[in-house]
Amino acid sequence: MLLDDEVIRLVGISDRALAILGETDRIIDTRLHAHLPGKGPVSVQAYVVYHNAVRGPPCKGGIRMSSDVTLQETIQLAEIMTYKTALMDLPFGGGKASIVAGSELPPQEKATLVREFAHKIRNELISGAYVLAPDMGTSPREMAVIFGETHMRECVTGKPVGIGGLPGRREATGYGVAVVVEQAAKELLNSELSGLTVGVQGFGNVGSWACTFLSERGAKVVAVTDASGGAVSRDGIDIEELKKHVAKHGGVEGYGKHLSNEELFKLDVDILIPAAIGRVITRDNAGDIKARLVVEGANAPTAKEADEILSRRNIPLVPDILANAGGVVASYDEWMMAKSGSRTNKEETYSTVRTVLLEAFKETLDYSSAHEISQRKSALALAAERLIGTMEDRGWV
């Protein structure tokens, strides 16, 4: 459970509300059977989890494709979505889906599995119970496959623009991370972003766009790592050149001087942004972190014990439910657009993400100052207050 005793006491959460927040609303546990050209017949595990639907339906959350994703992780990610959507004040419940298959599968094989998955959960999608989006290992291409199965634009967000995707949605999470980093530098480090050094883990959707927008705002991205390895340059990495390198070679490794993922977390940088997988900041490396600020681009990159170590070391951390919420904020606009048929442009998407995130950042900061708690506890407490308010409105508690 994300809430700890301090937050529960502070918000005054009743036993009944706590029991509801502590359980999972629904789990779909299914097998996908398909014939993959490169592999022959395969059977692959897939899950859909609705953690809490008080602010829905729909439950909202991305679909992860990874060979090591588990049901437990999918539940944790759905729980994160419950608090993230509440903190952003969106009328969505928290959900998540996963397909236990390698994210490195060729696009046609991914499409086959995703199509089978969409068949399996067809009723969830067309009834409006669940709205999908990309997560680790999936992209607008797979969202297009899902749209191809349902022919309903509101079933899935993060689609390519040509089939009703929102201009700016693709980069919205990374854009939001950059907005939050800039504000956190101002408020928590008392510094302009320009000239601050940044280290980023992950150069996929979230990490690469965060790097682009941070560089544009004058930050110096000095280190980037991913599943292939990493690169470091004290003069700053040219992000557009790195993107070309990754497009050609499939990963960051080989671009300039090598840096391992372990070394990244010990690097002397101002700002550290984990934007890849979960549980990378642990009790083993939290004591070695030299960054002055940690901003969670990924979901759940910091283990609980590591969180406490960072707190004790007075290293501020902006939590996932705030820092990477740009994607779901933009997804709400895409979902609305699918229903209304209206259109918008990239600048409007950026502006919405910026406005919503800065408002949530201010609320979180004010609450944390008022109650002398960390940004994570503050964000969770604010979200929990909203969730409980809605539970009362609906007569759940």
Q: Does 14 bind ligand NAD (CB under 6 A)?
A: no
The helix (run of H) or strand (run of E) holding residue 41 is strand 40-52
Binding mask 34-63 toward ligand NAD (x if CB under 6 A, else -) reads: ------------------------------
Q: From the CB of residue 168, how many other CB atoms can be counted at a distance below 10 Å?
A: 23
Residue 180 in contact with ligand NAD, rule: CB under 6 A: no
Select from 151, 134, 166 the least CA-distant residue to 333. Answer: 166
Find the binder of ligand NAD among 50, 117, 130, 203 (CB under 6 A): 203
Which among 7-15, 110-118, 182-190, 292-300 is the span making contact with ligand NAD, rule CB under 6 A?
292-300
295 binds ligand NAD (CB under 6 A): no
> Which residue matches tokens 């999908």?
132
User: Chain-centre distance of CA 386, in angstroms?
Assistant: 20
Binding ligand NAD (rule: CB under 6 A), the pick from 85, 98, 157, 173 is 173
Across 352-381, b (16+ Cβ under 10 Å) vs e yields: bbbebbeebbebbbebbeeeebbbbbbbbb
Q: Candidates 144-152, 274-282, 334-342, 368-376 — which segment interacts with ligand NAD by CB under 6 A? A: 274-282
**Residues forming a β-bridge with 75:** none
Interface region with ligand NAD, contact rule CB under 6 A, candidates 184-192, 282-290, 295-303, 364-372: 295-303
At 276, list the tokens.
């890849």
Q: Could you say whether residue 82 binds ligand NAD (CB under 6 A)? A: no
Member of 24, 150, 191, 261 binding ligand NAD (CB under 6 A): 261
Distance (Å, rounded) from C-alpha 194 to C-alpha 217? 7
96 is catalytic: yes
Rounded distance between C-alpha atoms, residue 207 and residue 173, angstroms = 9
Given 61, 95, 134, 319, the residue binding ligand NAD (CB under 6 A):
134
101 forms part of the interface with ligand NAD (CB under 6 A):
no
Which of 52, 82, 201, 375 is close enough to bind ligand NAD by CB under 6 A? 201
Q: Among residues 17 and 239, whose Cβ is nearest to ligand NAD?
A: 239
Binds ligand NAD by CB under 6 A, chosen from 202, 309, 318, 338: 202
10 vs 69, beta carbon nearer ligand NAD: 69
Three-state SS at 180: helix
Q: Which of 113, 239, 327, 384 binds ligand NAD (CB under 6 A)?
A: 327
Instruction: Output the residue with the shortest Cβ distance to ligand NAD.
Output: 204
User: Of 167 and 207, which has the nearer Cβ to ligand NAD?
Assistant: 207
φ, ψ for residue 231, nearest 5 deg: -140, 145
Per-position b or e across 262-282, b if 16+ CB within 10 A of its CB: eebbebebbbbbbbbbbebbe
Residue 267 tokens, joined: 């690097």
Task: Output the six-digit token pair for 332.
Answer: 């709400």
Amino acid letter for position 228: S
Smallest gap from residue 310 Cβ to ligand NAD (A): 18
Residue of 39, 60, 84, 96 marked catalytic: 96
- 157 lines the binding site for ligand NAD (CB under 6 A): no
Residue with tokens 């890849």: 276
Q: Is 98 helix (H, G, I), strand (E, B) or coil?
A: strand
Tokens 């969670």 found at:
296
Count how many Cα atoms sit within 13 Å of the Cα of residue 181 in the half-sphere of its side chain: 41
Q: How does strand 293-295 pair with strand 271-274? A: parallel
Out of 227, 237, 269, 303, which residue is the one contacting ligand NAD (CB under 6 A)?
Answer: 227
Residues within window 298-317 making contact with ligand NAD, judged by CB under 6 A: 298-299
Residues binding ligand NAD: number (CB under 6 A): 25
By CB under 6 A, is residue 281 in contact with ligand NAD? no
10 Å CB burial of residue 216 (0-12, 13-18, 19+) is exposed
Residues that bind ligand NAD (CB under 6 A): 103, 134-137, 173, 201-207, 225-227, 261, 275-277, 297-299, 324, 327
> Which of the residues are catalytic?
96
